[in-house]
Structure 1
Amino acid sequence: MPRWKELPAETSNSERQLLVQLRRLKDHSDLSLAALASRTSYSRSSWERYLNGKKPVPRKAVEELARVCGTEPTRLIVLYDVAERARAKAPVPGRADEPSSPTRPAQPSSPAQDQEQGQEQGREQTPDQDQDQDQDQESASASASASTSASASVRPGRTVPLGWTLAAVALAVAVAFGAGVLTARGWDDEAPAEKTGPVAVGAGYLRGQTYKCAVRRQDGELRAGHSDTREMLLDINSTGFDVVEAQCLLREQGFSPGVFDGLYDERTKGAAKKFQQAHHLVVDGIIGPDTWRELRR
Structure 2
Amino acid sequence: MPRWKELPASLGEQERRLAVQLRRMKDRSGLSLTSLATRTSYSRSSWERYLNGKKPVPRAAVEQLSRVCGTEPTRLLVLYEVAQEARVSAGAGPGRAAGGTATAPAPAPAPAPETARAPDPAPPTTPEPASGSTPGPALRTVRLRTAFAALALAVAAAFAGGLFAGRAWEGADGDARGAYEKGRAYGCGDGREDGVRYAGHSRTRDAILDRGDDGWEVVEVQCLLRGHGFGAGAADGTYGDSTKAAVRRFQWARGLVDDGIVRPETWGELRK
TM-score bucket (shorter structure): 0.3 to 0.5
Length-normalised TM-score, structure 1: 0.43
